[in-house]
């Protein structure tokens, strides 16, 4: 029988990470949950190998509209609002929980972001991050971000307003979602600064396009930018927002007119100040994405880490020695950065004698970091390890020691290591683990976490890895492998040796695909 830790599920992992002090500000590496969210939020990349193939922001969150003026950024914000719209402040149910993907009549479950969730990243945390990134990519304000949303297993009640409704209905709908009338007015303006109304959805409002642009869309405020033109054009009477002007004097669908005017235009007039508009939207969109079921606890705000270690991989290299790969992100450029490590099986390196310089460095620049006035630098290390192994590492940055608050960056074990560069991606994904050859494991296995398509990340039943004779032993390690269907997934590797279970946790195969 396997030791019980194998039974720990994804939910339990998340609950433990959220409940721990890590997210209360005293960050300590490794914190894979925070590390994952922080990396995706600020670098547009997930935790894992530094050169992973998919860049969240670059591929999915450009503000430039598609050729027919549709906007990916707008899709994300509307999707998040509709998901959150099931919240009921009276009984604490519903909210941003990805239940949208299971609700009827909702053709919105197939957006680009579905390729991201993994063991630590829920669909709803991804959606919330999409709102933050879409807003800032389009020139809008910085929305503070928390993690910890949990994906629902069941659909929620209906809650999305439709434009035919009365002002009173809208006010009651937003009250149930947790917003006052004034907040409703501002939140709708903040949402409708992006995107517009589509012909296939509202053919009486929007004329069909020509053949090339059959999905014709009429922008609410004529600009793809996150700006307050939506407000100023409403106030000065120049707006072409179809939810204000309607079609041919027909006011059935003029929901924005009913919403914006519901307090005699007082709120809209205040939002004519662009700084007030930006600050109001940052606050209200932040509350929108933080609207979650009562039994879900979010983390504190995730600020950029001043020192970020990522992509740590110790593994047998090409020659007969171990190699250590990792990246270090610092807030600023440093003159000299050195990696030091301590040997696991001797004292020979402990004094700092074993060291390596970065192989390169690069400025990390994303819209969110720019908006925060930050330009961190990321150093890549890839060094052979002369002696048997590594127990911990640390850095010297311009003469100052950076050692994870005193403990060093500890590599818990070296009995089982992921060996990504010996794996392969073809019809099947071949996963390779390196196991130290000084004892024979009684079992080597892995848990994989895979997306079911659109709504959940599932931990699959364990798969055994077997000794792979086609991979010659190296650096004191034998290689074990298993081939499974799938492409990019996250996995945990385990080896049971002398009755004890060793784990190499949260590895990523994205780079292979």
As a three-state string, the secondary structure of 406-465 is HCCEECCCCCEEECHHHCEECCCEEEEEEEECCCCCCEEEEEEEEECCCCCEEECCCEEC
10 binds, among ligand NAG, ligand HEM, none (CB under 5 to 8 A by kind): none
Give the three-state DSSP class for 362.
strand
Q: Is 226 in the site for ligand HEM (CB under 6 A)?
A: no
Binding mask 16-55 for ligand NAG (x = CB under 6 A): ----------------------------------xx----
Contact 357, 411 (CB under 8 A): no
Binding mask 251-270 for ligand HEM (x = CB under 6 A): ----x---x-----------
Q: Which residues of 421-453 are buried (b: 16+ CB within 10 A; e: fewer)?
A: bbbeeeeebbbbbbbbeeeebeebbbbbbbbee
Tokens of 126: 């991804």
DSSP state of 301: P
Among 17, 46, 71, 455, binds ligand HEM (CB under 6 A): 71
CA 313 to chain centre: 21
Element (H, E) at 181: helix 181-191
325 binds, among ligand HEM, ligand NAG, none (CB under 5 to 8 A by kind): ligand NAG
Q: Is 464 in the site for ligand NAG (CB under 6 A)?
A: yes
Give the three-state DSSP class for 502.
strand
Q: Is 87 in the site for ligand HEM (CB under 6 A)?
A: no
Q: Is 480 in the site for ligand HEM (CB under 6 A)?
A: no
Among 13, 52, 146, 198, binds ligand HEM (CB under 6 A): 198
Task: Please state, in angstroms and rounded to a whole number, the distance separating the CA atoms of residues 475 and 467.
Answer: 16
- Which residues on adjacent β-strands are paired with residue 322? 316, 385
Among 68, 88, 173, 391, binds ligand NAG (CB under 6 A): 68
As a three-state string, the secondary structure of 254-317 is CHHHHHHCCCCCHHHHHCCCHHHHHHHHHHHHHHHHCCCCCCCCCCCCCCCCCEEEEEEEEEEC
The candidate with the shortest Cα–Cα distance to 114, out of 54, 74, 49, is: 54
Q: Is 420 in the site for ligand NAG (CB under 6 A)?
A: yes
By beta-carbon proximity to ligand NAG, the closer residue of 27 and 308 is 308
195 binds, among ligand HEM, ligand NAG, none (CB under 5 to 8 A by kind): ligand HEM
Q: Is 425 in the site for ligand NAG (CB under 6 A)?
A: no
Q: Which residues of 219-257 are buried (b: 16+ CB within 10 A; e: fewer)?
A: bbbbbbebbbbbbbbbeeeebebbbbbbbeeeeebbbbb
Among 69, 228, 291, 413, binds ligand NAG (CB under 6 A): 69
Task: Please report how close the Cβ of residue 495 comes to ligand NAG at its closest, in angstroms.
Answer: 11
161 binds, among ligand NAG, ligand HEM, none (CB under 5 to 8 A by kind): ligand HEM
Give the three-state DSSP class for 44.
coil
Residues 171-230 that bind ligand NAG (CB under 6 A): 204, 213, 219, 222
Judged by CB under 6 A, which stretch of 76-84, 383-391, 477-485, 498-506 contacts ligand HEM?
A: 76-84
Number of residues that bind ligand HEM (CB under 6 A): 25
Positions in the binding site for ligand HEM (CB under 6 A) = 71, 74-75, 77-78, 81, 161, 163, 170, 187-188, 190-192, 194-198, 201-202, 243, 255, 259, 288
Positions in the binding site for ligand NAG (CB under 6 A) = 50-51, 68-69, 150, 204, 213, 219, 222, 234-235, 237, 250, 252-253, 261, 264-265, 293, 295-296, 313, 315, 320, 323, 325, 348-349, 353-354, 359-360, 362, 380, 382, 386-387, 420-421, 437, 443, 464, 473, 475-476
């Amino acid at each position: 029988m396997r030791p019980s830790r194998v039974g720990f599920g994804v939910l339990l992992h998340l609950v433990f990470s959220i409940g721990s002090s890590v997210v209360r500000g005293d960050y300590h590496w490794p914190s894979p949950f925070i590390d994952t969210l922080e990396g995706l939020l600020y670098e547009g990349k997930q935790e894992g190998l530094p050169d992973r193939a998919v860049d969240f922001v670059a591929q999915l969150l450009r503000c430039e509209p598609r050729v027919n003026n549709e906007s990916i950024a707008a899709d994300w914000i509307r999707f998040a609002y509709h998901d959150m719209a099931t919240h009921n402040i009276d009984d604490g149910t519903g909210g941003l929980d990805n239940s949208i993907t299971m609700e009827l009549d909702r053709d919105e479950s197939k957006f680009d972001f579905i390729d991201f969730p993994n063991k630590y990243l829920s669909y709803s945390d991804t959606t919330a991050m999409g709102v933050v990134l879409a807003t800032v990519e389009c020139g809008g304000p910085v929305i503070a971000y928390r993690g910890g949303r949990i994906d629902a297993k069941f659909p929620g009640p209906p809650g999305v307003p439709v434009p035919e409704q009365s002002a009173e209905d809208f006010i009651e709908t937003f009250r149930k979602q947790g917003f006052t009338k004034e907040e409703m007015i501002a939140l709708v303006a903040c949402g409708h600064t992006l995107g517009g109304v589509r012909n296939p959805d509202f053919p009486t409002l929007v004329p069909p396009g020509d053949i090339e642009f059959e999905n014709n869309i009429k922008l609410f405020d004529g600009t793809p930018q996150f700006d307050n033109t939506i407000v100023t054009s409403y106030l000065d009477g120049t707006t072409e927002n179809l939810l204000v002007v309607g079609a041919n004097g027909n006011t059935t669908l003029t929901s924005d007119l009913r919403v914006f005017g519901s307090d005699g235009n007082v709120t809209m007039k205040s939002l004519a100040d662009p700084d007030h508009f930006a600050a109001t939207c940052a606050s209200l969109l932040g509350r929108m994405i933080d609207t979650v079921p009562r039994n879900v606890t979010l983390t504190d705000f995730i600020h950029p880490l001043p020192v970020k270690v990522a992509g740590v991989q110790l593994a047998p290299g090409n020659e007969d020695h171990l190699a250590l790969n990792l990246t270090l992100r610092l807030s600023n450029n440093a003159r000299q950065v050195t990696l030091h490590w301590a040997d696991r099986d001797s004292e020979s390196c402990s004094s700092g004698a074993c060291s390596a310089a970065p192989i390169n460095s690069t400025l990390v620049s994303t819209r969110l970091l720019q908006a925060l006035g930050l330009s961190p630098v990321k150093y890549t290390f890839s060094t052979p390890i002369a002696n048997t192994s590594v127990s911990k590492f640390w850095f010297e940055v311009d003469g100052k020691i950076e050692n994870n608050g005193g403990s060093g960056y500890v590599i818990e074990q070296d009995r089982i290591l992921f060996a990504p560069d010996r794996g392969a991606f073809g019809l099947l994904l071949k996963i390779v683990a390196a196991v130290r050859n000084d004892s024979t494991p009684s079992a080597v296995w892995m848990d994989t976490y895979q997306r079911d398509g659109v709504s959940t990340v599932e931990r699959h039943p364990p798969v055994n890895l077997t000794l792979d004779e086609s991979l010659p032993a190296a650096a004191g390690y034998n290689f074990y492998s298993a081939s499974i269907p799938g492409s990019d997934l996250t996995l945990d590797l385990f080896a049971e040796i002398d009755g004890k279970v060793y784990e190499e946790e949260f590895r990523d195969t994205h780079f292979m695909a």
